[in-house]
Structure 1
Amino acid sequence: MRYPIVYFHMLSVGFLLILGHSMLRSFLPILAKELDPTGVLVGLTISSYFFARTFIELPSGFISDRIGRRTPIIVGLCLGVVGSLICTFSASIYILIIGLTLWGLGAALFFTNNMALIIDLFEPRVRGRAMGTFQGIEFIGSFAGAPIGGFLAEWLGYTSVFYVAGASIAMGLFIAITSRGLRKAGTWTTTRSTHISVRESLNGLRNRGLLVTCITSLSRTLIAQGVISTVLPIYLHDFLNMSVGIIGMIVSMRTGGLCLATATSGYISDKIGRKPVIFAGLFIESLCIYLYTLVGTFELLILLAFADGLGVGMVSATLIALMSEQVAPEYVGGSVGLYRTFMDIGAVTGPVLIVMVQMAFGIYSCFFFGAALLLVNIPILTIAKERKKTQ
């Protein structure tokens, strides 16, 4: 299987964008808690990165079906640079929220259209491995970003992390602007979808298979942002007395498992089908989230985080491939936009909802709730249909 050059250009850009944002993962809830000691705005701060995305993902998918993927990708990267720079002035939690909102808006434009571009480039029988390889290498940026951000925050302060993250996104912007492959492939979809109206696009997205994949996307992101990105760092810091640097290492190991599983699960799902891989991944995710409440040593947490990442990686690319099989090719941009809109709704509501659960029932209840919600998605996904494999 040959990969076009634009695939590697976008892989590099995605790596740099994820690297930049992942630098915040080990300390963002802690920084938000320092800026707002009451804790009321901590969940909103984590959600702000995804808040604006909720309103832009679906329209950007429709727009890129008509004008191509390139322009939204470049605009998104520009917004990411601006948002990260605003965060450097976050002496107030409100400035931090504004910066993260712009940053998230830019990420929405990039990832919606980047995902649609990958679906455009590869036919269904090899799409799983193309998406899996792409996301697996992208997530190496997340693997590296968490510990880099954690140690930079300890040594140089939080502000330095935002500067480094902004520089990383700026490098990605340069690659996208100068990519001839993106200039060519990023306008290809206009020849297919220019005459499709918004109403036709919406009608093309009305099917149960697409809806259930979107619901699973929402559930997983709700837990990822609410439990893993918000409650888990606070639990490790406040209950197990672990430093920001150590938390960054644990988060990084989880991402290591995610990278490994994402890079391989797409290929496996091309061979044996999407659903068996997704169901196994959801079960592993659920079990690991429950086990976080029973493990208290650094060594065991490292192993558990890696296993958790394996479960996450098994689902990530495979669920996208399953989603793409639910709609006709001319509706790909809109379907990706809808899928990511559900994901963003989960990301926005997750931190707020899980913090409310924590305040009402205690921190352990957050992990129990997360494990149960993931398991519920297994029977729901049986509704989605898979395309028959072709040789």
Structure 2
Amino acid sequence: MVLTRSVTIWVLMSTMFLTNIGFGIILPTLPFLSQHLGASTFEMGLAMSVFAGASLVASSIWGGVSDRIGRRPVLILGIVGYGVSSALLAFAPSVAVLLILRFLSGLMSSAVYPSSMALVTECTAAQERARILGYMGSINGIGFICGPPLGAFLSLFGIQVPFVSVGLLSIINGLLALYLLPRTSKTAVAAQGTAELQVRWLQRFRHMLQNRMIAPLLFGTFALSLADASISTTLSYFVTGSLRSTPTMAGWAFMINAGVSAVAQATVFSRIFHKCGEVGTIVIGMICGMIGYLAMGLSQLLIWAFLALAVLSFGRGLSYPSITTGISLHTAPQLQGSMFGSQGTVGSLGRTLGPLLAGWLYSVQERSPFFFSGGLLMLTAAIFLLFYLTRMKAKKQQAEG
């Protein structure tokens, strides 16, 4: 049993690593493919937005499906489906077909996160979950770092090559999961009849609202995703414009933003989590993020911007896996997929609204997106502190009573 669980975790890490390499390959090459098809600037932006919009719609649905039919088939379907739809992008004859395929890619890729996280939860004990989820987050970040340079290299052989390569990589990834992931029994939800399944959907939402820990964790996910948009959307403009640097330095800035977070999750996250608890770790991460964003907004030199990026990336490396671990610990086993699907939904909502808000703020004042993100994380940290103090007071009154 120990061997099977270890193999499952390693296979999940491998599949998530390969999946994020695929994401990273497509991200820098998609604008060039869109341009090749004659897309306008608006249509290139729309190609990014429809992917996030599809994830927003489908994440919770896929989570519920994984609760009913099992994690493994949903995970494999998501991996292979994302790869096939991404490979077909290389042969898109028009912008309209490209947008449809991007929507399908987002639809299929949104199955990967809730099913894989729920499978990790089923394979780990509560005391080791923070460490494993920290490793998962780290390997995801490393895969995303490796993807863009690999995509740039592959594009030298033709604009279609990166997309076909992602399709082949995903098929290999799906076969790896098919042959190595153990077959697990269906969850308790899967054993219910159709009428009871309909009731279960209502029970999931009621469970989410009644659980006093879940709602703050979902809000924290939304806040982090929304704040992150100020980096992903405006960082290149800020580095090359306000700081008068080069596109190469902008690329290094993205490497720092992803790399420090990956290192933090792999090294110090689990130790801080076990020492400070989930709320304490979230608050520490949010405060680091707040300091980093505010320092970013005040930066006049590239070196200070890089240091600010390192601080906010370190904060994200603490707060996000702590939120994910908290969700897994406060959710019933048969609802893990649905709850991680809900987390994926609110995260996609932040990634959908964030670029629009960050772009508008940048047009008003080029540093305002970073100040907004810093203020948002400060508010989120205060909410978690208030929640923690309220919970401690309630426990003390209960003990005295």
Please give the TM-score of this superposition, normalised by the length of structure 2: 0.83
Aligned equivalent of 1:194, options 191, 211, 233: 191
For residues 1-391 of structure 1, what are the structure 2 equivalents within 5 Å? 3-25=5-27, 39-41=41-43, 43-89=45-91, 94-150=96-152, 155=156, 159-179=160-180, 182-185=181-184, 188-191=185-188, 194-195=191-192, 197-207=200-210, 208-224=212-228, 226-240=229-243, 244-263=247-266, 264-295=268-299, 299-359=303-363, 361-382=364-385, 383=387
| Code of the aligned partner of 1:74 | I
Cα deviations across residues 200-247 of structure 1 (Å, max 9, x unaligned)?
3333222232111111111211222x2122221233345556555543
Structure 1 unaligned blocks of 5 or more: none
CA shift in 2, pair 1:36/1:303, >3 Å? farther
Greater percentage in helix: 2
Aligned residues: 380
Larger radius of gyration: 2
| Code of the aligned partner of 1:220 | L
Q: CA RMSD in A?
A: 3.1
Q: For residue 119 of structure 1, report the CA deviation from its aligned partner.
A: 1.2
CA shift in 2, pair 1:304/1:11, >3 Å? same
**SS in structure 2 opposite 1:292?**
helix
Once residues 340 and 326 of structure 1 are traced to their aligned partners in structure 2, the CA distance between those partners, rounded to angstroms, is 17
Out of 98-107 and 40-49, give the one that drifted further: 40-49
Q: For the Cα contact (< 8 Å) 1:80–1:107, is it kept in 2? A: yes
Structure 2 unaligned blocks of 5 or more: 396-401
Identity among equivalent positions (%) equals 23
| Code of the aligned partner of 1:227 | S
Once residues 241 and 370 of structure 1 are traced to their aligned partners in structure 2, the CA distance between those partners, rounded to angstroms, is 23
Once residues 291 and 153 of structure 2 are traced to their aligned partners in structure 1, the CA distance between those partners, rounded to angstroms, is 30
CA shift in 2, pair 1:362/1:37, >3 Å? farther
CA shift in 2, pair 1:114/1:290, >3 Å? same
Once residues 252 and 32 of structure 1 are traced to their aligned partners in structure 2, the CA distance between those partners, rounded to angstroms, is 24
Q: For the Cα contact (< 8 Å) 1:48–1:101, is it kept in 2? A: yes
**SS in structure 2 opposite 1:184?**
coil
Please give the TM-score of this superposition, normalised by the length of structure 1: 0.85
| Code of the aligned partner of 1:172 | N
**SS in structure 1 opposite 2:209?**
coil
Once residues 12 and 235 of structure 1 are traced to their aligned partners in structure 2, the CA distance between those partners, rounded to angstroms, is 34
Once residues 38 and 329 of structure 2 are traced to their aligned partners in structure 1, the CA distance between those partners, rounded to angstroms, is 44
| Code of the aligned partner of 2:178 | I
Once residues 36 and 224 of structure 2 are traced to their aligned partners in structure 1, the CA distance between those partners, rounded to angstroms, is 28
CA shift in 2, pair 1:48/1:233, >3 Å? farther
